[in-house]
Structure 1
Amino acid sequence: MNKKYKKIGVIIAIVLTVILITTFVVNIVIENKITTAIEKLPKSVKIKYESVDANIWTGNLEMIAPKVMVIGETTQKTILDATLNTIEINEISYWNFLMNDKISVETLIVNQLVAKYKHNPVVKNDDYKSGFLENINQIINIEKININNADILITNYNTDSTILSIPKLNFELKDIKINPEASITKNKFNYSDFNLAAKNLQWATNEYDKLYADSVHVTNDKLSLKHFKLKTKYNTTEYSKILKTERDHFNVQVKEVIFSNMDFGFNTAEEFYFKSKEVLFNSPETEIYRDKLVADDTTYKPLYGKMLRDLNFKLGVDTLKIADGKISYLEKVKSDKPAGRLDFLDMNATISNLGNTFGNDETRIKVNTMFMDNSPVEVNWNFKVADTTDQFVFKADLGVFNALHMDQFTQPNLNVDLNGELEQTYFTISGNPSTSHIDLKMKYDDFEVSILKKDGEEKNKFLSTIANLFVSKDSQDDKKEFRYGQAESVERDVTKSVFNYVWLNIKAGLLSAMTGDGEQDN
Structure 2
Amino acid sequence: MKITKLFYKKFLVVISIIAIVLFGLNFYAKNKIDEVLQQKITEKGFEYSGDISVNVLFGNVAINNVELSKDSLKFQSNTISVSDFSYYSFLINDKISIGEVKVSTSSIEGKLPKKTSKPISKKDTLQHKKEEIFIESIIVNNLNVSVVDAASYPIKMANINIEISDFDLSANSHKKIPFSYDNLFVEIDNFEKKTSEVQAIKFKKFEFKNNDIVIDSLQIVPLKSRKNYIYHLPYEKELLDLVAKQIKISDIKIEEEPNLSFSANHILVDNVFFDLYLNASVLEASKKFKPLYSKSLRDLPFKIDVKSLDIKDSKLIYEEQTKKNHKPGILVFDELNAQIKNINNSEYKTEKFTVVDIQSKFMTDSALKIRWSFDINNKNDDFRISGSLFHVNSKNMSSFILPAYNVKMDGYINEMFFDFEGNNSVSNGKLNIDFKNFNIKILDKQKNKKKFLSWLANLFVKDTSKQGMVKTKVEKLERDQTKSFWNYFWKNIEKGLQKSLI
The alignment covers a number of residue pairs equal to: 495
Partner of 1:434: 425
What letter is aligned with 1:482? M
Q: Give ranges in structure 1 of 5+ residues lacking alignment.
A: 71-77, 516-522
Matched, 1:47 2:48: yes
Q: Determine if contact 1:256/1:282 at 8 Å carries over to the other structure.
A: yes
SS at match of 2:252: strand
Report the AA paired with residue 495 of structure 1: T
Distance 1:87 1:467 in 2: 78
Residues in 2 aligned to 1:503 and 1:150: alpha-carbon distance in whole angstroms = 48
The one-letter code sitting in structure 1 at the alignment partner of 2:412 is E
Aligned to 1:87: 80
* Structure 2: distance between partners of 1:88 and 1:38: 14
Structure 2 residue aligned with 1:291: 279
1:504 to 483, 491, 496: 491
C-alpha distance after superposition, 1:79-120 (max 9, x if no partner)? 421111111112222344466553211111100011114223
- Answer whether contact 1:391 1:430 (CA < 8 A) is retained: yes
Q: Name which of 476, 479, 482 aligns with 1:495.
A: 482
Over residues 357-396 of structure 1, what are the superposed CA-to-partner deviations in whole Å (9 max), with x where a residue is unaligned?
Answer: 2466101111000001110100001111111111111102
**Aligned pair 1:324/2:316, yes or no?**
no
Aligned residue number for residue 484 of structure 1: 471
- Structure 1 residue identity aligned to 2:488: Y
Question: For residue 167 of structure 2, what is the aligned residue in structure 1?
Answer: 176
Matches within 5 A, 1:54-69: 54-69=54-69
Q: Tell me, yes or no, if structure 1 residue 216 matches structure 2 residue 216.
A: no
Match of 1:18 in 2: 17
Would you say 1:346 and 2:335 are equivalent positions?
yes
Q: Match of 1:342, as an amino acid?
A: L
Once the two structures are TM-superposed, the CA of residue 417 in structure 1 deviates from its matched residue by 0.2
Rounded Cα–Cα distance in structure 2 between residues aligned with 1:495 and 1:305:
16
- Tell me how large the CA RMSD over aligned residues is: 2.4
1:122 CA drift (Å): 4.8
Name the counterpart of 1:105: 98
Whether the aligned pair in 1 keeps the contact of 2:342 and 2:351 (CA below 8 Å) is no
Find the residue that maps to 2:453 and give its secondary structure.
helix
- For the Cα contact (< 8 Å) 1:143–1:175, is it kept in 2? yes
Give the aligned residue type for 2:277: Y
Distance 1:135 1:154 in 2: 29
Residues 468/125 of structure 1: CA separation in 2 closer, same or farther (3 Å cut) = farther
Q: Which amino acid aligns with 1:391?
A: D
Which amino acid is 2:326 matched to? K
Residue 458 of structure 2 is matched in structure 1 by 468
1:181 Cα shift? Answer: 8.7
Partner of residue 229, structure 2: 239
Q: What TM-score comes out, normalization by structure 2 length?
A: 0.93
CA 1:120/1:63 → structure 2, altered by over 3 Å: closer, same or farther?
A: closer
Residues 378, 175 of structure 1: CA spacing in aligned structure 2 closer, same or farther, 3 A cutoff?
A: same
What is the distance in 1 between the residues matched to 2:235 and 2:497? 31
Aligned residues of 1:136 and 1:180 also touching (Cα < 8 A): no
Q: Any idea what the Cα deviations from partners look like across 1:314-373, whole Å, max 9, x if unmatched? A: 121111110001000010100020111110000000111124124661011110000011
Partner Cα distance (2:309, 2:171) in 1: 38
Q: Measure, in 1, the Cα distance between the counterparts of 2:127 and 2:207.
A: 30
Q: What's the % identity of the aligned pairs? A: 26
> After the TM superposition, which of the residue ranges 425-434 and 114-123 deviates more from structure 2?
114-123
SS of aligned partner of 2:251: strand
Give the CA deviation at 1:5.
Answer: 2.4
Letter in 2 for 1:69: S
CA contact under 8 A between 1:325 and 1:345: conserved in structure 2?
yes
**Equivalent residue number for residue 120 of structure 1:** 113
Tell me, in whole angstroms, the C-alpha distance in 1 between the residues paired with 2:158 and 2:172: 36
Distance in structure 2 (CA, Å) of the matches to 1:134 and 1:116: 31
Deviation readout 1:415-460 (Å, 9 max, x if unpaired): 110111100100111111111112111112111111112x051111
Of 281, 292, 295, 1:303 maps to 292
Provide the rounded CA distance (Å) in 2 between the counterparts of 1:224 and 1:131: 38
Amino acid at match of 2:46: V
Q: Deviations over 1:162-207 (max 9, x none)?
A: 0x21121111011001128954345x41111110111101123455
Deviates more, 1:327-336 or 1:113-122: 113-122
Cα distance change of structure 1 residues 355 and 239 upon mapping to structure 2, 3 Å threshold? farther
Gaps of 5+ in 2: none
> Following the alignment from structure 1 to structure 2, what is the Cα–Cα distance between the partners of residues 399 and 514?
18
SS in 2 for 1:482: strand
The separation in 2 between residues aligned to 1:119 and 1:133, in whole angstroms, is 28
What is the SS of the residue equivalent to 1:84? strand
Tell me, yes or no, if the aligned pair for 1:79 and 1:157 is still in contact at 8 Å. Answer: no
Letter in 2 for 1:485: T
The residue type paired with residue 116 of structure 2 is: V
Give the conservation status (yes or no) of the 8 Å contact 1:120–1:158.
no
Q: Distance in 2 between matches of 1:16 and 1:414?
A: 95
Contact 2:384 2:422 (8 Å CA) reproduced? yes
